[in-house]
A and B are shown apart, each in its own frame.
Chain A
C-alpha cells in the first residue's frame, strides 16, 4: 500500500527525471566532443595559469574578502524567509475568508492572513535594517 503510493508519487516526477537525463546527456555529449575532436598541443609555458604572461605570484587558493561570505549568509537567511511566503501566497484567499455566520449566509472577509504576514515582513525589515546599518550589505 505504502509502496504503491510512493510509486505513484515518483511516477509524477518521471517527466522531470527524463528532462534531467536528457539535459545531462546533451551536456555530456558536448564534453565528449571537446575531448574527442580538435587538435592537442601542450607545452610547459601554455600549461601555466593565464596571467597575461607574467609569473603568477602567490597561490590562487589564497584569502579573499569576507564580504562574499556575508552575502552567502544573508542569502540563506532571506531565501528561507521567502520560502515561508509561497504557501501563504497560495492560501491567501482561504486565510482571508471567515466562516459564514450561519447556514445559507455568505462568508466574510477577514484580515487574519494579511496581518500575520505583515508581522512577518516587519520582522524581516527589522533584520534587513540591522544588516544595512551594520554595513554588511553593499561594498563600502
Chain B
C-alpha cells in the first residue's frame, strides 16, 4: 500500500472532476430530491393536509421521505412518449439545455474552506508561535472553478437554461407549449437584467467577482473570526432583496410561475413525459439550491461559521481551540445548513404568495426592480465614496 498516501489521495480529491461529483451527488442532488418531498409536505402543512407520507422500503418509512426515490424510479420506468409531429432533435435537446447549465454553474461555488490534509489532526494556528511550521502542501480547495470573473460565469451559463424552455416550447409543435416557452423566455430575460444589476452593489463593496473572495469579505485578517455583522447581507440588504426577487423569478416558481403554471395555463413541457419531463422538474429544484448557494456565498458569508476562526472558536478574546478536521467539517456543515434554510424559505414563499398576472410580472421586472437596482448601485457607490474619504 505504498501508493496510498496523502499526496496521491489529495491529487485525486483536488481534481475538479472529483469535486464536481462530490458536490453534485453529495449535496446538490440529495438536497434537490428531498426538496421535492419537502415542498409537498410543506404545502400540506400550510393547507392542513397530510401530504405524502406513505412511501417506504419495508419498515423504513421516515414520514415518507423516500417518496423522492419512488418518484425517480417511476419517472425512469415511465413510457418516454414523443408525439408525432415534434422536432425530434430539439425535443431531445431541450431538457438537457434546461438541466446542464445549472449543474455547470455550481463549479464556481466555494462549498468549503481549503483543506490541508497533513494538518487534519492538528490545530491550525494561522501564525506558528512555536515549533515547526504547519505543512500546508497538497491542499484541497473546495471550489471547482476559481476564476476572476466567477459570478459572470454564473450569469453567462445560467442564461443558457433560458433556451431549454424556449426550445422545448418550439420543438413540441403545440400552441400551448409554444406560448409557455415564449412566456418563459420573456420572463427570464426581464429578470436577468435586474439579477445582474442587483449584485453590482456587492461587487462594489467587495471589489471582486470571485465568489471565494466575496465569501472571505469581513474575514480578511487572521485572529479576527467570522462575524455575521461583517457579512454583506447587512450593508447590502436592498441588494439582497432585489436579487432574491429576481432570482426567484428566474427559477420560474410561484409567485412567478406563469411559464409553467402546470395544471391551469399549461407550460412549455406539456408534451414531455417520463424522465425527460423529470429533467425539467429536477432542473427547477436544482436552481432553487443554486440560487440559495449564491445568496449564501455572496450575502451570508458562505461556509463561515460565526466566531469560528481557522484554529477554533474565538469569542471576546478567548480561544476554544479545535483541530483542523473539526473546523472543516463545521464549515462544510454551515454551508449546507445555510443553503438548506434558504431553500426552505423559498418553499414558504411559494406556498404563501398568489401568482402574478403576466402584465404585473413585466411591470415588476422593468418598472420596479430595474430602476431600483440602478438606484441602489449609485447609492452604494456614493456610500463607498463617503467611507473612502472618511477613512483617509
Contact = CB atoms under 8 A, between A and B. Distances in A.
Given A86-B203, A93-B207, A139-B359, A27 B99 contact: yes
B321 interface: no
Given A14-B16, A40-B79, A28 B96 contact: yes
Contacts of B193: 75, 78-79, 82
Contacts of B378: 114, 117-118, 121
B144 A31 contact: no
B104 interface: yes
Interface in A19-74: 19-20, 22-24, 26-28, 30-31, 33-35, 37-41, 44, 46-51, 56, 58, 60-62, 64, 67-68, 71-72, 74
Contacts of B85: 47-49
A100 to B, nearest CB: 11
A14 B146 CA distance: 11
Contacts of B382: 114
B159 to A, nearest CB: 9
B196 A79 contact: yes
A120 to B, nearest CB: 10
B144 A72 contact: no
Nearest to B266: A50
A19 B104 contact: yes
Given A19-B103, A90-B203, A92-B384, A38 B78 contact: yes
A49 B174 CA distance: 6
Interface string A95-114: 01100000000110101011
A111 B275 CA distance: 56
A12 B16 CA distance: 11
Given A18-B16, A56-B175, A92-B207, A37 B104 contact: no
Interface in B205-237: 207-209
Contact of B21 (A22, A48, A51, A93): A22
Contacts of B152: 86
A72 B175 contact: no
| Chief secondary structure at chain B's binding surface | helix
B76 A33 contact: yes
B145 A16 contact: yes
B318 interface: no
Interface stretch (B33-41, B125-133, B346-354, B365-373): B365-373
B311 to A, nearest CB: 29
B175 A47 contact: no
**In the complex, which range does the number of interface residues on chain A fall in?**
35 or more
Contact of A139 (B207, B362, B384): B362
B284 interface: no
Interface string A1-24: 000000000001111101110111
A61 B270 CA distance: 16
Contacts of A78: 193, 370
B203 A140 contact: no
B186 A92 contact: no
Contacts of A106: 392
Interface stretch (B56-64, B176-184, B337-345): B176-184
B320 interface: no
A38 B384 CA distance: 59
A72 B184 CA distance: 12
A75 B190 contact: yes
B175 A60 contact: yes
B94 to A, nearest CB: 11
B21 to A, nearest CB: 7
A47 to B, nearest CB: 3
B295 interface: no
Contacts of B388: 93, 96-97, 109
B74 to A, nearest CB: 10
A56 to B, nearest CB: 7
Nearest to B25: A26
9 contacts: A23-B101, A30-B99, A34-B274, A40-B79, A46-B81, A60-B173, A60-B177, A117-B378, A139-B363
Interface of A: 12-16, 18-20, 22-24, 26-28, 30-31, 33-35, 37-41, 44, 46-51, 56, 58, 60-62, 64, 67-68, 71-72, 74-75, 78-79, 82, 85-86, 89-90, 92-93, 96-97, 106-107, 109, 111, 113-114, 117-118, 121, 124-125, 128, 132, 137-140
Give the 7 A-B residue pairs with the shortest CB-CB distance, closest first: A47-B84, A139-B359, A15-B16, A75-B189, A23-B103, A19-B107, A89-B203
Given A14-B16, A19-B145, A64-B179, 6 more contacts: A16-B107, A19-B104, A22-B21, A38-B77, A47-B85, A114-B381
